[in-house]
Structure 1
Amino acid sequence: MSTVRIETDRLILRPTAAEDFDAWAAFMADDVAARFLGGAQPRSIAWRYFLMMAGAWQIQGYGMFSVIERSSGRWVGRLGPWFPDGWPGPEVGWGIAREAWGRGYATEGAAAAIDWAFDQLGWTDVIHSIAPENEASRAVAVKLGATDRGPGQLPPPLDNEPVNLWGQTREQWFARRGR
């Protein structure tokens, strides 16, 4: 697990590490950044979700990556493969800290994570659960070549949150990328 490391032009994607928590907690306390991720959380709840992600890596062998900005070494978000029990499909999701918005990090990192999910995890399909009013994430999904598959249903306690499922198959992804 600790040897997984993906480098893009501007990012390092790696499993969650203890030194990421302060930045993770600040990100999840931001009402604007966390709006479509279940809402802002106090540090104590952010800690539980942080450990949940680390546990996903331990139990499933994958989870969302910590996104590290190569130029500065700072934590700027989390993104990657996510498929908890009851989820509507294998997902690559993203959440970028507000101070790093507008730089294309979500698209760059998610593309690398989708490659990894198809190549290393053997996934044949990938979804993105996006709130209908989340224009920024819809734009990322479009840049990734995903199509809106319509309304989806998340498991409790998120079952009252409206989402559309965006996605594409492995074949669609690699055809678009020329592989």
Structure 2
Amino acid sequence: MTELHTARLTLRPWRESDLAPWAAMNADPAVREHLGELLTREQCDAGVAAFRADLARRGYGWWAVESTATGEFLGFAGLDDVDEDMPFTGVEVGWRLARGAWGHGYATEAGRACLDFAFDTLGLPEVLAVTTAANHRSQAVMQRLGMVRDPSEDFDDPYAPEGSPLRPSVVYRLSRPAEGPR
């Protein structure tokens, strides 16, 4: 199964040992601030089962992210097909890291690895990223990755309740670079 490697990170298939730290991460209100309700252990385990199935079926999806130096589970990053209920189509890049992994450039590093895989291996012409309008940290990562927002594509997330601060959302896009070194 596909693994991606950067200078400091390994993006790899999920292991049983990832389940507890993944659940703890998704029970952290700071991690879930722009995502919605805290997740139970059962919801987290079901999510990992779906991530594993997607990786096996498609060869891409949400990979577990670990520190190459220490083997510590840091979160996830990857690529996913946009849900049918969204007002656009394509493949989305994303990341979610445990609070202790914030501020070290890991999201940008993992995001870059995912974009390289999307363009160089999958041959995708474009990748997009979506977040809440209030999630400025994630938008900063998107900008560092060279992604561009078109405010005309801003939308209300159909999965967020009416009136929720999680409803206003933004879309960033990046087209495959022209041939040659990046």
- TM-score grouping bracket, smaller chain normalisation: 0.7 to 0.9
Aligned residues of 1:80 and 1:94 also touching (Cα < 8 A): yes
| SS in structure 1 of the partner of residue 66 of structure 2 | strand
* Residues 70-105 of structure 1 deviation map (CA, whole Å, 9 limit, x = unaligned): 121011010111114415321010111101100000
Q: CA deviation at 1:111?
A: 0.2
Segments of 4+ moved more than 4 angstroms = none
Query: Who is 1:140 aligned against?
Result: 141
- Residues in 2 aligned to 1:118 and 1:38: alpha-carbon distance in whole angstroms: 30
Q: How far apart in 1 are the matches of 2:176 and 2:143?
A: 16
Asked whether the equivalents of residues 153 and 159 of structure 1 are also in contact (C-alpha less than 8 Å), the reply is: no
Aligned match of 1:168: 174
Instruction: Describe the shift of the 1:61–1:152 C-alpha distance in structure 2 as closer, same or farther (beyond 3 A).
Output: farther
Distance 1:6 1:101 in 2: 20
Note the residue ranges of structure 1 that are not aligned, 5 or more in a row: none
Q: Unpaired segments of 5 or more residues in structure 2?
A: none
- Structure 1's 25 and 129: CA in aligned 2 closer, same or farther, altered over 3 A? same
Aligned length: 173
Structure 1 pair 137–50 and aligned structure 2 pair: CA distance change class (3 A) = same
**Preserved CA contact (<8 Å) 1:129 1:152:** no
Q: How far does residue 9 in structure 1 lie from its aligned partner after superposition?
A: 0.9
Among 54, 65, 75, the residue aligned to 1:56: 54
Tell me what 2:159 maps to.
157
1:24-173 counterparts in 2 under 5 A?
A: 24-86=22-84, 87=86, 88=88, 89-150=90-151, 151-152=154-155, 154=157, 157-158=159-160, 161-171=167-177
Q: Deviations over 1:27-65 (max 9, x none)?
A: 111111122233311111111212121121123221111
Contact kept, 8 Å, 1:28 with 1:41, in 2: the verdict is yes
TM-score between both structures, scaled by the size of structure 1: 0.88
Same amino acid, percent of matched pairs: 32
TM-score of the aligned structures, taking structure 2 as reference length: 0.86
- Residue 47 of structure 1 aligns to a residue whose secondary structure is helix
